Amino acid sequence: MKQNELAFPPLQNLFSAAAIRRKVSRLTKPVRLSSNAMPAVALSAFVSILCLVSARASNWYVQPSAAGSNNGSSWSNAWSMASLNSNWASVQPGDTVWLAGGTYTTGMHCTQSGAAGNVISIMRPRTTDSVPTAAAGWNASFDSQVIVDPGNSSDPVWWDTLNGGSYLTFDGRVDSGIRFYVDPSVTYSLPGAVAFRPGCGGQTNITFTNIDMAGPQPNSTQYNQAAYTSPLLVFTYNGSTYLTISNILIQNCRLHGGVDCVNSTGLINSTIQYSQLYDTSSTNSNFHSNFMELHNSGNIIFRYNNVHDWQVEGFFFLSPGPSGATTWSIYGNVFHDCSNVVGRFMELEGGNSGVNGPIFVYNNTFYNVPLAIFSGAGSSPGSYASSSSAENNIFWECGGVFERWDGSHDYNYFGGGNVIEGSEAHGVSGAGASPFVQPTGDTTANFQIVGTVASNYPRNKGVALATDGFINLDMLGDVRGADGLWDIGAYEYTTTTVAPTPTPTPAPVQNLRIGS
């Protein structure tokens, strides 16, 4: 029996009891409660202090063009984006920066930090919000998409200082409510829609929710990129050292339209979940297109995402993660329909020469990934750590599934003409027809499995993994094994009607432990 422990709990400090205790301790210190104070007194004092903290938190208002006295105090006196950039020192932990809908032609330069448990929020206002709608100058049209498109002048939002711009939360409030857009006119090196540029490092605890991180590519799968663009750029290499950023949470976001989807030299201890990642390509031969180009990055949880139409390499490891941050946990996702016949899921680059991982690949669905799932390129591509494991995955119409895999694998489901590398004691070979409800079309596909229970179908053929309250859910929130046995693939079969676009809100994983 295996016992694969994922010893890293990304984001644990955001919500841990210890962090909450630290906050309470700091807040209550000036009260000087006597040691025999009644609990009710303490509670009352604590509530009063919370109110005091709340009263101190300020709201700042930004519009595409400055208004009135340009001091950010209301919509009538709103900052422009340039004014926000030059006045970040006024924005304190706990404050909220409201961005009115519209198109901004100046990018946001993040230099100011919130604090643990007291983040700075950057939000689009909704008509249902009491605070921004009560501010002078409110107009209902402010509740519309925020588009940040600075042309060739800068990234739409960027960091380039050590540690600055930590403890921030970006929230578009609705799908793509805030759009950071890399303009087709960009020509500078390594543009990113959300860009951690050279000079940065140490950033931590930054959350993105309902953000559209968009490259210049229109809604197509092949695009002649003018620069090496990425929806998410983490380029923390300072010329001699790889720095890192950590505890980055990306959820309910879209990442699309770049040469790479993610280009990272130092992303660690972070989570990407419930997001759509698609249309990653370059027909410009100067820019090689990968789903993720990964140096020095690890301890990443990638779960409950829909990934499609990437061009060549998928997770592309050019070097292993740094010491203590090498694990990748990839579970509950659907990867489907590469846009190119050489598309693959994961590859080790020639010259990598390191041991990569461990990499845990559980309960994913792979459909039409033509070249390979796990592969290596060139000479000395290194290896996948032998403690890596792949179980409960569906591989349908996929080439060379375990071509280069050094980990273990079992309880996987194969079919549709794919090449199976090695044998599995509990592997399942599919029937002629796919096991999916409806597998075709980027927007119409439904990779939930049919309810048939048979020797050549994936329902009830998986192995039960640990019931830690998280890995045992699928992306729709259905409990794996609720009918007694785990299914293979991203979805547990259920007769319950579910919404096609889920808005799940599970708590970030803590002390994840996978085993059986």
The answer to whether 277 and 307 are in contact (CB under 8 A) is yes
Residue among 257 and 462 whose Cβ is closer to Ca ion: 462
Taking CB under 5 A as the binding criterion, the range among 58-66, 72-80, 434-442, 481-489 that sits at the site for Ca ion is 481-489
- Is residue 175 within the footprint of Ca ion (CB under 5 A)? no
Pick from 175, 442, 468, 483: which binds Ca ion (CB under 5 A)?
483
Closest separation in Å from C-beta 464 to Ca ion: 10
The structure tokens listed for 363 are 């309960």
Decide: helix, strand or coil at residue 411: coil
Site track for Ca ion across 83-122, x = CB under 5 A:
----------------------------------------
Q: How many helices (H) and strands (E) does the chain have?
A: 5, 39
Nearer to Ca ion, 419 or 453 (CB): 453
Q: With respect to Ca ion, which residue has the nearer C-beta, 481 or 504?
A: 481
For residue 142, the one-letter residue type is F
**Nearest-approach distance from CB 431 to Ca ion, in angstroms:** 18
Query: Which residues are bridge partners to 365 per DSSP?
Result: 334, 394
Binding of Ca ion at residue 494 (CB under 5 A)? no
Our CB check for Ca ion shows the closer of 57 and 485 to be 485
Asked if residues 57 and 90 have their Cβ atoms less than 8 Å apart, the reply is no
Q: Can residue 467 be called a binding residue for Ca ion (CB under 5 A)?
A: no
Is 460 one of the binding residues for Ca ion (CB under 5 A)?
yes
User: 10 Å Cβ neighbour count for 69?
Assistant: 11
Question: What residue spans of 223-267 are helical by DSSP H?
Answer: none
Interface with Ca ion (CB under 5 A), residue total 4
Q: Look at the block and give the residue holding tokens 């330069």.
A: 109
Segment interacting with Ca ion, rule: CB under 5 A, options 249-257, 439-447, 477-485, 496-504 = 477-485
CB 491 → Ca ion: shortest distance, Å? 10
Spacing of C-alpha 313 from chain mean position: 18
- Asked if 487 touches Ca ion (CB under 5 A), the answer is yes
**Residue in the structure block whose two tokens are 């919509």:** 75
Q: Which stretch binds Ca ion (CB under 5 A): 250-258, 339-347, 433-441, 476-484?
A: 476-484
The per-residue b/e assignment along 424-455, b for 16 or more CB within 10 angstroms, e otherwise, is beebbebeeebbbeebeeeeebebbbeeeeee
Q: How many CA atoms lie within 13 A of 429 on its CB side?
A: 9
| Contacting residues toward Ca ion, per CB under 5 A | 460, 483, 485, 487
